[in-house]
């Protein structure tokens, strides 16, 4: 697949673990990874197993910088890093932005995951073109002449950082994965963060009934998404972080009523390409 400018590309849409079931292939087998492909850079949201698919196909003549933004440090959002070829070949400048969560620096999680006995190498094997940048959620990141990223904390075990991309002064896209509606203010906080944004990629792992037995797991349910969709009809919402144990038909069945009622809601599908506005 040839990348074009100003595109959103879903490289991984699953949560928990990569799925190995062919019955889950339509909506995605790889874990969380989204690319924003622009004329001057690639912005990657999360480094789940899907990032390896992007790294495998990137054109060797494409020397645009790559900025990777990590939401949190559960392994389904990190497991693709040691398989991401641009970290090793020196063809790209790669910056990895790591939020400080619960007072801890993200590099500690990276070093724990990419080290023996969990993995045979360490990040010392990465190219000299790779750098790590720590920040505190709430800060605004400046990636280049055209891109600023607003950041905010959201409730999830170990905390999670949400991102809001402003490109050339436009509120292009928000990315919030993973998040749990665990207080009276959670959805209001989400809506305030994403208001006036064009696109929203958001955790929607469970039905309302399923979430009753999964309190504390850190995920939204589809009733939560309905509230967001009804209050922000101008935002295109992508249901994301599909549960590993759900087949394509289950994902479709669970979200059928929501999709039928709200034109601004779609299912995120691995390898889908969306033109950004």
Residue 70 pLDDT greater than 90, yes or no: yes
Model confidence pTM above 0.85: yes
How many whole angstroms separate alpha carbon 25 and alpha carbon 27?
Answer: 6
Residue owning tokens 């874990």: 31
User: What are phi and psi for residue 118, nearest 5 degrees?
Assistant: -75, -30
Predicted pLDDT at 277: 67
Residue 56 pLDDT greater than 80, yes or no: yes
Per cent of the chain over pLDDT 90 is 88
Please give the average per-residue pLDDT across 180-208, as a whole number. 95
- For the chain, list the domains and their CATH numbers: 7-275 (3.60.15.10)
Please give the average per-residue pLDDT across 110-131, as a whole number. 96
Strands annotated E in 168-262 = 170-176, 199-203, 236-240, 242-243
Kindly indicate the confidence band of residue 61, based on its pLDDT and cuts at 50, 70 and 90.
confident
pLDDT, mean over the chain: 94
């Amino acid at each position: 697949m040839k990348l074009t400018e100003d595109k959103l590309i879903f490289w991984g849409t699953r949560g928990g673990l990569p799925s190995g079931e062919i019955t889950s292939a339509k909506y995605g087998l790889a874990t969380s990874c989204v690319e924003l492909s622009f004329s001057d850079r690639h912005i990657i949201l999360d480094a789940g197993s899907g990032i390896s698919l992007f790294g495998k196909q990137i054109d060797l003549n494409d020397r645009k910088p790559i900025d990777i933004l990590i939401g949190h440090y559960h392994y389904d959002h990190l497991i693709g890093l040691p398989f991401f070829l641009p970290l090793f070949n020196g063809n790209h400048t790669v910056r990895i932005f790591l939020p400080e969560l619960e007072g801890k620096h993200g590099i500690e999680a990276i070093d724990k995951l990419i080290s023996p006995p969990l993995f045979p190498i360490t990040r010392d094997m990465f190219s000299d073109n790779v750098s790590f940048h720590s920040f505190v959620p709430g800060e605004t990141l400046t990636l280049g002449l055209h891109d600023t990223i607003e950041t905010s904390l959201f409730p999830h075990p170990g905390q999670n950082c949400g991102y809001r991309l402003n490109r050339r002064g436009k509120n292009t896209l928000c990315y919030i994965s993973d998040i749990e509606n665990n207080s009276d203010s959670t959805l209001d906080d989400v809506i305030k963060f994403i208001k006036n944004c064009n696109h929203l990629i958001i955790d929607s792992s469970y039905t309302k009934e399923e979430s009753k037995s999964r309190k504390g797991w850190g995920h939204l349910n589809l009733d939560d998404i309905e509230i967001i969709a009804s209050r922000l009809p101008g935002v295109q919402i992508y249901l994301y972080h599909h549960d590993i144990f759900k087949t394509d038909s289950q994902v479709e069945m669970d979200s059928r009523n929501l999709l039928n009622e709200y034109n601004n809601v779609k299912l995120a599908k691995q390898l889908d390409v969306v033109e950004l506005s």
